[in-house]
Structure 1
Amino acid sequence: MSNAAETRLWHPFANMADVKQKPFLVEKADGVWIFDEGGRRYLDGTAGLWYCNVGHGRTEIADAVSRQLRTLDTYFVFNDFTNTPAELLARRLSEFAPMESAKIFLTSGGGESIDTAAKLARLYWAKRGQPERIHILSRRHSYHGTNGFGTSMAGIETNRTGFGALLPDTTRVAHDDADDLRATIERIGAGEIAAFFAEPVIGAGGVRPPEPGYLEAAAKICEEHGILFIADSVIGGFGRLGSWFGVERWGLRPDMITFAKGVTSGYLPLGGVAISGAVADVFWEAPGNPFPHGPTYSGHPTVAAAALANLDILEREQLLQRSGELEKPLYDMLCKVAEHPAVDHVRGGTGLLGALELAPALVEQDKTVVAKAQRAVREHGAVVRPLASALAVSPPLIITEEEIGLLGDSIVAGLDAITTR
């Protein structure tokens, strides 16, 4: 794309005044690499938007999609309609889920999954004769997508501001303090609260692993007060934290789990909610209790076929285990980079993701320094994700230790460039 040709594509989260005449055009991708229109390659240090877990260019997924398009390209699963790929995917995900008799509600992505879980939580209590239980708790720094409930629950304040009145009856608690969760429940009243949403590792809010014991304590507090515990595993699932849904490493058995991203490795848009049998039974066992909610593309057969092929790769190549093996090498690399004077500290060590918090003085001096750092790293051959005051990495699970080293070299070179400037 010529720099003289102004784009007509409105980019999410972008300052279009800066982007409109100089977008970065990605032409193709293979493995852990992406290529621009000039053929230059860049290490994909973020796996797209935290999702391309099996890496780019997997012909197995492309072939599965092609076969399905030639058989049953698209159809809905409303009412009593269904299709084979959606049925197979739901059964497989149910078997992976760490709760009893899990049911799977499919969506088109993470934001839809959050809205689905929030609406289902409120309706669950209404069907249980407690319609007053509508309040939803989430954590500061959390990101739960940009749909209605997700925006209202957001713990990143910049994602909540400027839109006018948001959905009421949502409250944010400290991201790392179970006592604050308990105190908030006591202040609001457990009988008013439907659910508590928690990312196992907070992603877009800065890559913040949980404090030791926090998630277990939060889950216990919810159980004591009869509040639904909903894990947002949109980023953490399908190997990113070393297991299918990310929560298993803490022994958690949530009432619901939202998922997306890694379920197809981003090859096609898909998300969903895994719902425990105890919650689902209210709707599945008693007649006359429909869930009046559903995205158009829920259970899309071609998307489900892509997910099934992706799950095959994750299992066959043991990428969940590989994620665990690479967790320490990635964190060690980030700790080494954190010695750079432009970096204040590193967050990570839990899963194949991490973040480098830039020095506060640097951020205070130049509010655009994170974006500049991200571009500088890209100029030196790697893609990292700019957050509020940090650079985040979450590479494909197929990355090698050598490539992790190359990622670190590119980050250091980019930080050298911005400090020199």
Structure 2
Amino acid sequence: MNSPLATQPLSQAADLDSFWMPFTANRQFKARPRMLQSAEGLYYTDVQGRQILDGTAGLWCCNAGHGRREIAEAVSRQISQMDFAPTFQMGHPLPFELAERLAEIAPAGLNRVFFTNSGSESVDTALKIALAYHRARGEGTRRMLIGRELAYHGVGFGGISVGGIPNNRRAYTTLPHVDHLPHTLDVQNNAFTRGLPAQGAELADQLERLVTLHGAENIAAVIVEPMSGSAGVILPPVGYLQRLREITRKHGILLIFDEVITGFGRVGAPFASQRWGVTPDLMTVAKGLTNGAIPMGAVLLDGELQEALMQGPEGQIEFFHGYTYSGHPVAAAAALATLDIYAREGLLTRAAELEAYWQEALHSLAGHPHVIDIRNTGLVGAVHLASRDNAPGSRGYEVFERSFWDGLMVRCTGDIIALSPPLTIEREQIDRLVDILGNALRQTA
């Protein structure tokens, strides 16, 4: 049966009060709801029948576009055959097969996979693996975790602690033994750079300062997003990630890449670590793993880390951690079907093929009102707007809302408009995206 929202005017629709929406100004939204009803290819359709070009791949996750029948059929077959199976002291074939498939496309050496249900869970899992690894090797003093300002690592207590977005942290208790590197956003020196900014690699040397302050023997891991998506597409300066790798390796500190957003083709390679030539010790993924169809995440790690925990009696649990739905059969079926699509259609590298066209199209917006920076890499981009006096974020929200009612879905992070269309986008849709966004920029005072 259709939802009441699909058949009635919004004023007559079901009460909107019961659902407390995540990361949403609920009162603002419910005053003028934006309701999506269906999706196919590059477009959503709202409850009024309007087509909305998806400029964000859902929420950075629908990399192969919407309505992929192969995924739906795989899910249907699996849920009919076996809806659930535990992976505590039991097993079923699909997560083992999926782990092998992921290891085949991952950076060399990241050949062990721990399954989760989201990016947030993946981050907390990776942090726990890092701490357990050092303890198993007799270096239990390594308890400190290093994150970065403006980073987003999900909403678990571990993730918000190493994360660096103030509003995600200030209302909650965070973990002890955490410090932060400075962020790499430098509009003054790098505005309108095409691709990775040339200046800023030296910011990685701040890790040496933290090592001196806390002692290498006390630091377990450094976690960074290769590209900070949720903070507004903050790109790594040329050489920055390489420098982090050098410093962490020198001091025996594990390096974790949070590739929840950058994974599965977003920046032009299967993973950002491959695009930019830096292999971490652990890597978190989610979102594009199942094309957003079923919640699933994972931690990919160097096999040596797992081996360090394979000590003691054979019947002893080595890592006291996991989730009821780790390696869920239906999620694994969705992920395997998704990987088949990526491989068959060449989507894991397609962003590199479209990057030049995408870059030129985005930078054509440079002369529009209030635009102070444009950033891009692969098939991701940001249009950074000047903030209004005493009303930060209001200009970005207006552009976001105007774009929606004109037929384009974008993301706004404060006064930054973030773009990450499905990897199936064509040049015609890129042009349409830029036209709608440009019109919204012109209309916003």
Question: More deviation in 265-274 or 320-329?
Answer: 320-329
Contact 1:74–1:301 under 8 Å retained in 2: yes
In structure 2, which of residues 155, 169, 180 is the aligned counterpart of residue 172 of structure 1? Answer: 180
Contact residue 369 and residue 442 of structure 2 kept, 8 A: no
Instruction: Find the counterpart in structure 1 of residue 191 from structure 2.
Output: none
**Separation in 1 of the partners of 2:285 and 2:110?**
17
TM-score, scaled to structure 1:
0.95
The farther-off stretch of 259-268 and 287-296 is 287-296
What is aligned with 2:77?
67
Structure 1 residue 140 corresponds to structure 2 residue 111: no
Match of 1:333 in 2: 361
Aligned residues of 2:110 and 2:282 also touching (Cα < 8 A): no
The answer as to whether partners of 1:141 and 1:206 remain within 8 angstroms in 2 is no
Maintained 8 Å contact 2:366/2:374: yes
Q: 274-283 vs 49-58, which deviates more?
A: 274-283
**Structure 1 unmatched ranges of 5 or more:** none
Deviation per CA, 1:253-274: give whole Å up to 9, x if none. Answer: 2110000011111011010100
Matched with 1:342 is: 370
Which residue matches 1:256?
Answer: 282
Q: Secondary structure at the match of 1:337?
A: coil
The code of the aligned residue for 2:30 comes to K
1:85 correspondence with 2:94: yes
- 200-209 vs 287-296, which moves further: 287-296
CA contact (8 A) 2:311 2:318 kept: no
Note if 1:53 corresponds to 2:63. Answer: yes
The structural deviation recorded for 1:283 is: 2.1
Whole-angstrom CA distance in 1 between matches of 2:144 and 2:317: 22
1:363 Cα offset (Å): 6.0
Aligned position for 2:329: 301
Aligned pair 1:29/2:57, yes or no?
no
The farther-off stretch of 236-245 and 93-102 is: 93-102
Q: 1:158 aligns with which of 132, 155, 167?
A: 167
Letter in 1 for 2:270: W
- Give 1:242 shift: 1.7
Q: What pairs with 1:154-303 in structure 2 (closer than 5 Å)?
A: 154-163=163-172, 165-176=173-184, 177-284=203-310, 287=313, 288=316, 290-303=318-331
Aligned 8 A contact 1:206 1:390 in 2: yes
Q: Which runs of 5+ in 2 are unaligned?
A: 185-202
The more displaced of 16-25 and 325-334 is: 16-25
Q: Return the match for 2:26 from 16, 22, 27.
A: 16
Q: Is contact 1:6-1:20 (8 Å) kept?
A: no
Determine the C-alpha separation between the residues in 2 that align with 1:262 and 1:363. 37
Q: Report the 3-state secondary structure (helix = DSSP H, G, I; strand = E; otherwise coil) of the residue aligned with 1:370.
A: helix
Amino acid at match of 1:358: L
Structure 2: how far apart are the matches of 1:235 and 1:29?
21
**Structure 1 pair 6/369, CA: closer, same or farther in 2 (3 Å)?**
farther
Distance in 1, matches of 2:375 and 2:79, equals: 42
Q: 1:205 to 1:366 in 2, by over 3 A?
A: closer
How far apart in 1 are the matches of 2:50 and 2:149?
39
One-letter amino acid of the structure 2 residue matched with residue 129 of structure 1: G
Query: Does the Cα contact within 8 Å between 1:237 and 1:245 map onto a contact in 2?
Result: yes
Please give the residue correspondences for 1:313-332 in structure 2 after superposition, counting only pairs within 5 Å.
313-332=341-360
Quick one: which amino acid aligns to residue 76 of structure 1? P
Q: Which letter maps to 2:349?
A: Q
Closer, same or farther: CA 35–133 of 1 in aligned 2, 3 Å:
same
Question: Normalization by structure 2: what TM-score?
Answer: 0.90
Q: Which amino acid in 2 is paired with 1:231?
A: F
Q: Which AA in structure 1 matches 2:147?
A: S
SS of the counterpart of 2:209? helix
The one-character-per-residue Cα deviations of 1:222-267 (angstroms, maximum 9, x if unpaired) are: 0000000001000000000122222112222211000001111101
1:70-116 CA-to-partner distances (Å, cap 9, x unmatched) read 1111112112x111111110111122221326110000010000000
Matching residue's letter, 2:182: A
RMSD over aligned Cα atoms: 1.4
* 1:120 positional shift: 1.0
Structure 1 residue 412 corresponds to structure 2 residue 422: no
Structure 1 window deviating more from structure 2 (363-372 vs 39-48): it is 363-372
- Partner Cα separation in structure 2 for residue 184 and residue 381 of structure 1: 47
> What residue identity is the alignment partner of 1:143?
Y
Deviation at 1:285, TM superposition (A): 5.7
CA distance in 2: counterparts of 1:140 and 1:106, whole angstroms: 27
1:98 is matched with 107
Does the aligned pair in 1 maintain the 2:393–2:413 contact within 8 Å?
no
**Does the residue aligned with 1:402 lie in a helix, a strand or coil?**
helix
Q: Secondary structure of the equivalent of 2:425? A: coil
- CA distance 1:237–1:332, change in 2 (3 Å): same
Name the % identity: 41
2:404 to 365, 368, 378: 378
Instruction: Quote the residue 2:385 is aligned against.
Output: 358
